[in-house]
Amino acid sequence: MVSGGFGVGKTTFISAISEIEPLVTEAAMTEVSIGVDDPGHRADKTATTVALDFGRITLDDSLILYLFGTPGQDRFVFLWDDLADGALGAIVIVDTSRVEDCYPVLDYFEDHGTPFVVVVNRFDNAAHFDLAEVREALGLDDWIPVLDCDARARDSVRDVLVALLEQVLFHRMRPRHREVS
């Protein structure tokens, strides 16, 4: 899953790496969204995901990675459970100018035990923070990767996906406490 707050770059992220034309469910933003959907420094944003984004990457003949992007607005969170069903892991994209938008996203994946990585999408003309500062602001454990990314750049997105796969393997291979009765 590729998730995060409104306007953080989820659709762009999937579009940068998908080997197929991504399926996007974007709708035009209208006057009704004024005061509800705040694009922040992305004042040029004219469309928003209303259901999901979908992309695909073939890793080898036997392994295909499907990417599902979530809508970023709270009113569409009811779709997340269906998108998360069977997900190996998640990428949480953060816009440092609106870091508070990712708290519910982090809570969702932590509550569901879904392995995830946190990605700071580096927007043009946005304030840049050290990744250690971002980790501290989000209250993340040291074992959760926090990475830089340009969601428009295929190589940058690829590196994030590799980090996520490593996190999924780490999560699946770590010993679990079992209650002894």
Q: Are 154 and 16 spatial neighbours (Cβ–Cβ below 8 Å)?
A: yes
DSSP 5: S
CA dist 137 and 151 (Å) reads: 22
For residue 98, the model assigns a pLDDT of: 85
What's the pLDDT at 76? 59
DSSP labels, 12-38? HHHHHH-SSPPEEEEEE--GGGTTTS-
What is the dotted CATH code of the domain comprising 2-173? Answer: 3.40.50.300
Query: What pLDDT score was predicted for residue 111?
Result: 92
Contacts of 47 (CB under 8 A, 6+ apart): 26, 27, 28, 29
The pLDDT assigned to 177 comes to: 54
pLDDT tens readout for residues 51-74: 578 899 998 889 899 999 887 666
Low-confidence ranges of the chain (pLDDT < 70): 25-51, 72-80, 175-181
